[in-house]
Structure 1
Amino acid sequence: MKKITLLFLLIITFLVPKNAQAQDNGAAIAAGAGALLAIGAGIAAVEQMKERAELTATEWILSNNPELVNFSLKTLDFNGKKLKDMSATSVITFKIQEFVPQDKPELDGKKQILLGFTSYGWINEYGIDFDKVRWFLIDSKEWINMMTSYTKVASGEKDDSFVKDQLTNGKIVNKGIKVKSKTTIPFYELSGDLYVTTDYNEDMKFIYNEKSLGIYLKETKNLIQIGRGSIIEIHDFFFDE
């Protein structure tokens, strides 16, 4: 909160000219105050969306995964996002980790990722419409299977065992998979209008395009893009933390 207050003060400093006339200063201050109110409203709206999304995700877990009894749930997508950016978001990602209840418990249990795939109009003037979100809970094994399929379509590598080994011991980066700073599986260089596809399961097709993972949901017929940065963040959650 202190950081946000300091940011507002800095914005006022830059919005108000040092050599302006008194009346101009007054107008500038009013304009600055209006801008700050707009920024504050945007921050508050995103924070409210985050809380609502986390509540809905938790309710989905409780309803559909009774085996999850003690767990932490945090979003990966809302930090630093503007309201207009969130309306264009195609997938909300939540980190889930189990723990043993005790004083000051450590998050040292099983890790999973909950993916909430959105569709057009999921954010409107009334807030979030969660009827337009499809949920998938994924553990590290399923993530490796997904990334193996993705890596194969993105690189042409055919050996499943080799790909899984590189994924488990390395990192996904923009240009491929790296193990100890060496690129062991390079990805194709494709222009923005080229796509390579593979059928993953009864729910999804994967589409490789430059710097993104495209997931085509067969039921809703939506093509959803997950940026390479999000892929890296999820992979690091499973295998680095």
Structure 2
Amino acid sequence: MAFLIPKQSVAQKDGAAVAAVAGGLLAIGAGIAAVEQMKEQAELRATQWVLSNRPELESFSLKTLAFNGKKMKDMSSTSVITYKIQEFNPAMDPELDGKKQVLFGFTSHGWLNQSGIDFDKVRWYLVDDVEWMNMMIAYVKVSSDEKDESALNKTLLEGKVVNKGIKVKSKLVIPFFKLTGDMYVVTDYSSEMKLLYNERSLGIFLKDTRDLVQMGRGDIIDIHEYFFDND
């Protein structure tokens, strides 16, 4: 199940991501303290969104998976922030063993300004493992010669998404097309978005705002492993 809803967003990641964000904010006059404040604000906004829009989630963990999950480096432009959400049973030492979901926060031009983040310039998209698999199948169909959806589902469950294609036990079983940076292959995925394949990235075009975000392959790998890596 997935749905697109405007309003509120954002958060943290690791040292490298924070440095990238800091650079973008410094370019518009903000500093490291502002970055930290922004991260805290964003975590709160993400949690508020879940509480407002998913009332059935009574115990869950929400952590940032990627703060700047895109291929392009201009932080003042469009971007996508991803959160991993997982349910658990409350206990003295609870384990995160419940249903997993990923929350995307797609930003629009102007989402960063001298006041920080404009949370009105965000579109939310929530996916579970089924929806993510559907997206990956559609993505691999346009990025490779493999078109059999049943075969793709099996391969994606067994393998891993890497830079050159899909690997199963270190063997590249589905190679991706070799495209230059200015070549795109497009599929009309849903009423909300189109998916694009271009060299080492997943492009997501939001029909409502006409914004295009190109997710880096590393972020695709992280999301896929979060859903399907049981190691």
Pairwise TM-score range, normalised by the shorter structure = 0.7 to 0.9
Check the 8 A contact 2:187/2:194 in 1, yes or no. Answer: yes
Structure ID, larger Rg:
1
Aligned-pair identity in percent equals 67
> Of the candidates 194, 208, 211, which is equivalent to residue 200 of structure 2?
211
TM-score (normalised: structure 1)? 0.78
Residues 151-189 of structure 1 show CA distances to partners (whole Å, capped at 9, x for unaligned) of 000113110001111111110000000010011111000
> What residue number does 1:109 align with?
98
Deviation at 1:127, TM superposition (A): 1.1
Unaligned runs of 5+ in 2: 1-14, 16-25
More helix by share: 1
> What residue number does 1:17 align with?
none
Matched residue SS, 1:72: strand
Check the 8 A contact 2:101/2:128 in 1, yes or no. Answer: yes
Residues 187-240 of structure 1 show CA distances to partners (whole Å, capped at 9, x for unaligned) of 000001111000101001011100110011011111111111100011111112
Higher relative contact order (CA 8 A, sep 6+): 2
Deviation at 1:54, TM superposition (A): 1.2
The answer to whether the aligner puts 1:97 opposite 2:97 as a matched pair is no
Check the 8 A contact 1:155/1:187 in 2, yes or no. Answer: yes
Instruction: Tell me which amino acid in the other structure corresponds to 2:196.
Output: I
Residues 100-155 of structure 1 show CA distances to partners (whole Å, capped at 9, x for unaligned) of 01112111111100000001110111111111100011000100000000000011
For 1:176 and 1:49, the matched residues in 2 are separated by 35
- What aligned pairs does 1:1-241 form with structure 2 within 5 A after superposition? 42-78=31-67, 86-88=75-77, 90-241=79-230
TM-score (normalised: structure 2)? 0.82
Deviation at 1:88, TM superposition (A): 4.6
Residues 32-56 of structure 1 show CA distances to partners (whole Å, capped at 9, x for unaligned) of xxxxxx8xx8433222222111111
Instruction: Tell me which amino acid in the other structure corresponds to 1:61.
Output: V
For 2:213 and 2:190, the matched residues in 1 are separated by 16
For 1:86 and 1:150, the matched residues in 2 are separated by 25
Query: Which 4+ residue blocks in structure 1 deviate beyond 4 angstroms?
Result: none
Check the 8 A contact 2:67/2:82 in 1, yes or no. Answer: no
Check the 8 A contact 2:204/2:213 in 1, yes or no. Answer: yes
For 2:36 and 2:75, the matched residues in 1 are separated by 11
Check the 8 A contact 2:142/2:186 in 1, yes or no. Answer: yes
What is the aligned-residue RMSD (CA, Å)? 1.8
For 2:141 and 2:206, the matched residues in 1 are separated by 19
For 2:32 and 2:184, the matched residues in 1 are separated by 36
Unaligned runs of 5+ in 1: 5-37
